[in-house]
Structure formats: structure tokens, C-alpha cells
A and B are shown apart, each in its own frame.
Chain A
Amino acid sequence: MRRGWFLPTMAILGFVFLYAPIISLVVFSFNESKLVTVWSGFSTKWYGELFADPQMLGAAWLSLRIAAVSATIALVLGTLCAISLVRFRRFRGRTILSGMVSAPLVMPDVITGLSLLLLFVGMESILGWPAGRGMLTIILAHSTFCMAYVCVVVQSRLADFDMSLEEAAMDLGATPARVFFDITLPIIAPALVSGWLLGFTLSLDDLVIASFVSGPGSSTLPMVIFSKVRLGVSPDVNALASIIIGIVALGVFAATIFQLRSRPKKARA
């Protein structure tokens, strides 16, 4: 087979490029010295320091709560949106809805953050709500952009969905809501899980939008990391990054294995 050497070489170099910085980050989280890039001996002291830092822990807890709530709101709204776009083929305002839900995917974060902040400030001066900015405003902002991601994930699952199952249920007299909960929901469940997880990680990771819409005393984890990293490297950030990478790697491995197992061997087109 004339596969040539070019593609494999490029692919290997590409993967090295993707992974070398991450691997070095993890390796240096176990470094004794405060200099993050000069090896001076194995130590886990930065992990200890990380778990003794109340600012870091508080920010992490806040971020986790925000991410869980935002992902859940985004899951509900994003799924409704996906159903509207895929199932109800024609309705007034369909183009606007599909544009509104896909635009946050590519909208630069600074614009999203600024626009939401200006909205919240304007609403506060006119309606008196939301009073001040903090966890609530961050959740509102995060739900909005996470719902776009949920919608895309669920949409693609709904698009290659065997419609005859739903039709059969309807023929047997099930109401639309019953069809949804008994037939549709179980089938799109994997997409709902990955949509929720995607929203959760994106919310956990967002720096720019949260910086705009957060208030005093509600610094999320990325905001704390950013202010630390801006002043230079700090080994406890390496430790934190290693923990996050470890959790994510385990999750993605588990998901991939689960997918491969649950999918029976079938001929691929």
C-alpha cells in the first residue's frame, strides 16, 4: 500500500504538538522547586499548598455550583430548542431561532460578556433586578452560551433518529408529551449526557464572560487562576491543572470505551 511517510509523520508531529505542553505541565506539577521549568526533585507539596489555599478552594466551589446550575438550565432550554428546530420543520421565526442559538457558538467572548453586562446594568436601573452582579448573573450568562452547545449536540442526535418509532407510538394513541418522555427521551439520552457535560466544562472554563458579569466577591476559579498566572508561573496552578486534566482524561476514556462497547459491531458505510 502506497501510504507514504508524509501523513503519518505530520500526524505524529501534530499530536506531539498537542500533548507535549500538557505533559510537561503535569510533570512539573511534581517539581520540588518553585521554578516551574527547572527540575529539582520529586515533591507533592504544591498539591498540599493548593488544598490549603482558601481563595482557590472557595473559587472552585463557586465555579462548580455555577457550572452545575448553568449546565442544567442549558440542557433543558437547548433540548427544547433542538426539538423545535428538528421536529417542527416550519414555524414563524425558525430562521431567527436557529440563528440566535448558533451565533453564541462563534461570538467572541468579549462581545457576549460586554453585552450581557450592559443588559444587567440597564435592567437593574430600570427594573431593580438583578440587584448587583454575582452568581446569578454568571449563571444567566453561562446558561445562554452553553445552551447553544447543547442544542447542536442534541440536534445532531435527533437528526439521525428513526422517526417511525415516534410515529408508531402516536398511532397507538400516545399523546405528544408521552411520546417524548417514553420514546424520544431515552433515545436521545446519550446526547443529553454529553450536552450537559459539555455545558458543565465550558462554564467551568469560562474566564472572559464571567469577568464581565461577576461582581465583587464572586470570583470564579478561572478568574483566580488568571490573576495568578498573569503575575508569572505558579506551581500550584500546575497542580490544579494536573488534577483537572486527570479527571477529564478519565472521563473521556470511560466515555470512549463505553461508546465502543455499547455499539455492536456493524458494517460502516
Chain B
Amino acid sequence: MSSFDIDNPAPRRHRPWTAVERAFAAVGLSGRALVIAAPAAWLTLLFLIPLAVVFGISLATKQFGKPPYSDLLTTGDGTVQLTLHLSNYVRLFTDSLYVAAYLNSIKIAFISTIFALLIGYPMAYFIARSSDRWRNILLMLVILPFWTSFLLRVYALTGFMRGNGVINQFLEFIGFQHVINGYNAVLGWAGWQMPSLPFVMMQTDFAVYVGIVYTYLPFMILPLFTNLVKLDGALLEASADLGGRPMRTFFSITLPLSMPGVVAGSMLVFIPAIGEFVIPSLLGGPETLMIGRVLWDEFFTNTNWPRAAAVAIAMLVVVVVPIMLLQKAQDAVQDTARTK
């Protein structure tokens, strides 16, 4: 195999694409330009232009007809008139429903991100420090839920948290009611009464937090793992040799070095959580206001397309800074991965 037979060279294979290439070259197109142009054109048409269209329609008003919004440009008497309505944006700032939905979305996304980080970090660290064999198995276990349906995982939670669901049945089974009774007998006088079983979890903000953490946890763990697995063990040993306690070592070495992973993971949870629709509508109650849901209702229930477009633009403004943070953090994660 390794020797090179001069007398019998491998038969030269003729492949059609060289001819295709010559044909393109003849009209002045290099293969390289075509490779770039195809995805660039697709993304321009189906990503960039749609965003511009959303912005344009956010400046129209609702109208009965098809399509259900007013034209920005109208012609008549030999003039072209451009009509821009700012009323949708004015409403976003003056209507307390929108303001509340925005603030609530940011609050819910933020708190969920913190909890995902608190749960995901130890898991990622544990996986990064385990032996090669275990590491692959555990990573597979983290990735597996991500491949199963997002919608069905949210649905799985509804069966878990409802009044006669698994959690409540489990708590009843282990006699948790006695713990509640005991607690209430001791501390209940101060107004810290604990509700008795079954706990009401569904259709509350709590269920939304659980839902976001549950579905986005793999997105938190994976960048953290990528970051932590590159951590130089010698640094930790040096710290221990110098008498650093585990806590101290963690806060002065491990945590600072894993910051890119922390930021990337957090943004991967925070950004989609802001615009989440499925989770608040299946797990949250009617009072769980989130912008994704408001946009959906504005579009499907009120058929106010321009208002929905304005909500989308405002949502975009909220997620732009996190997206830039994410980009920077991901570059940093990849850099550390590359230098090692």
C-alpha cells in the first residue's frame, strides 16, 4: 500500500464537476464566489429582508382587508406618499400591559437563568472531572433530552406538577403532610403558614421557572463543560499545595477561568427564555405575562399584525445586547479550546 508503483499509476478518474467548473470559469464565475453566494443570498432573502419587513410593517396600522395592514406607500395625483404610524410604539410605552409583559419576561428569564446556572454548573463540573468513560456516558445523558421533542418535554412537566401529579403523589406517599403540620405548629403562628398538600404548582410563575430551567439546562451545561474540561489541573494542584481550601480555589481559580462558559451558557438560556411562548402558555397561568405570548395573542387573536411587528422589534432591542455578549463569550470559549 505504502509503496508507489511508477509503472502502474492509479487510473485517472474523470469526474464531471471539472467540466462544470470550466463552464463556470468561462462566464467569469469562480467556484469560490458561488460557494459564498448561495448561502448569502438565501440568508439575505429569508433572514435579513424579513427583519426589515417587520420593521416596515410595525410602522403601519391595522386595517380590515387582505393583508390586514395599511400600505406605507400610497400613490395618487402623481405623488407618492409615505405614511409612517408611530402609534404602535407609543402604545408599547403607554399601555401597562406591554410594559408589564416586558418587565415580567426579563424577570422570569433572569431568575430562570440564575437557577439553570446554579444547577448546571455543578453538573458540568462533575462531568468535566469524571473519567473518560463516564464522561461520554454522562454527556450523552445531557444531550439526549435535547434531541427529544421540546414540546413533549414541556408536556411531561404538566403531568409531573399537576394537583394529582407525580410530585404531589410522591410527597403524600412519604408523608410530607406531617412535616407541613409540624412546621405549621412550630412556625405557623408568625404568618409563615405552609399550604397543605396537594401543592398548587401548575399555572403559576413557579411552573414557568421550572419549565425554562428544565428545557434549557442542556444549553447551560454544554458550553460550561467545554470550558471546564480544558481547565488546567496543575493550577488547582498548585492552589491546593499552597494551602488554598477547596472553596477558595474554586472562587479564585475555577470560577474566573470558566467565565466565558458561564456567560455563553447563561445567554443561551436567557435569550430564548425572553421570547418563550410554549412554556408560559402550557405551564403558566393567565396572569403569567410574557412578551412572546403577548406577540402571539396580538397576531393570532387580535389579528393586529402591525402591533405584533412592533412588539417583535421591541423584543429584538432587548435581546441584542445579550446576543453580542454571547458572541464574545463563544469566541473566548473557542479560543481557550484551541490554545489547549
- Chain A interface residues (CB < 8 Å from chain B): 2, 4, 6-8, 10-11, 14-15, 17-22, 24-25, 28, 35-38, 76-78, 80-81, 83-84, 88, 91, 93, 97, 100-104, 106-111, 114-116, 118-119, 121-122, 125, 140-141, 143-144, 147, 151, 159, 175-178, 181, 201, 204-205, 207-208, 211-212, 222, 225-226, 229-230, 233, 237-238, 240-241, 244-245, 248-249, 251-253, 256, 259-260, 268-269
Instruction: From A7, A24, A119, A244, give the contact of B148 (CB < 8 A).
Output: A244
Separation of A17 and B166 alpha carbons in the complex (Å): 13
Contact call A108/B292, Cβ cutoff below 8 A: yes
Separation of A181 and B305 alpha carbons in the complex (Å): 47
Q: A233-B159, A252-B140 are in contact. Are A18 and B214 (CB under 8 A)?
A: yes
Contact call A230/B281, Cβ cutoff below 8 A: yes
Interfacial chain B residues near A140, Cβ < 8 Å = 46
- Tally A-B pairs: CB < 8 A: 253
Kindly supply a per-residue 1/0 record for chain B positions 141-174, scoring 1 wherever the CB is within 8 Å of any chain A CB and 0 otherwise: 1111101111111011111101011100100000
Distance in angstroms from A44 CB to nearest chain B CB is: 18
Contact call B275/A109, Cβ cutoff below 8 A: yes
Interfacial chain A residues near B54, Cβ < 8 Å = 111, 114-115, 118
Contact call B340/A229, Cβ cutoff below 8 A: no
Residue of A nearest to B30 (CB): A176
Contact call B281/A100, Cβ cutoff below 8 A: no
Residue of B nearest to A240 (CB): B152
Contact call B15/A181, Cβ cutoff below 8 A: yes
Separation of A84 and B39 alpha carbons in the complex (Å): 9
Interfacial chain A residues near B17, Cβ < 8 Å = 175, 177-178, 181
Interfacial chain B residues near A100, Cβ < 8 Å = 40, 43-44, 47-48
Interfacial chain B residues near A103, Cβ < 8 Å = 47, 323
- Chain B interface residues (CB < 8 Å from chain A): 15, 17-18, 20-21, 31-32, 35-36, 38-40, 42-44, 46-51, 53-54, 57, 67, 119-120, 122-123, 125-127, 129, 132, 136-138, 140-145, 147-153, 155-160, 162, 164-166, 169, 214, 217, 246, 267-268, 271-272, 274-278, 281-282, 292, 295-296, 299-300, 305, 308-309, 312, 315-316, 319, 323, 326-327, 338, 340
Interfacial chain A residues near B160, Cβ < 8 Å = 20-21, 24
Q: A22-B145, A256-B136 are in contact. Are A125 and B67 (CB under 8 A)?
A: yes
Interfacial chain B residues near A175, Cβ < 8 Å = 17-18, 21
Distance in angstroms from B17 CB to nearest chain A CB is: 4
Q: A35-B164, A141-B46, A245-B148 are in contact. Are A177 and B18 (CB under 8 A)?
A: yes
Distance in angstroms from B31 CB to nearest chain A CB is: 6
Instruction: From B36, B50, B122, give the contact of A14 (CB < 8 A).
Output: B122
Distance in angstroms from B172 CB to nearest chain A CB is: 12
Separation of A201 and B49 alpha carbons in the complex (Å): 26
Residue of A nearest to B167 (CB): A20
Contact call A106/B151, Cβ cutoff below 8 A: no
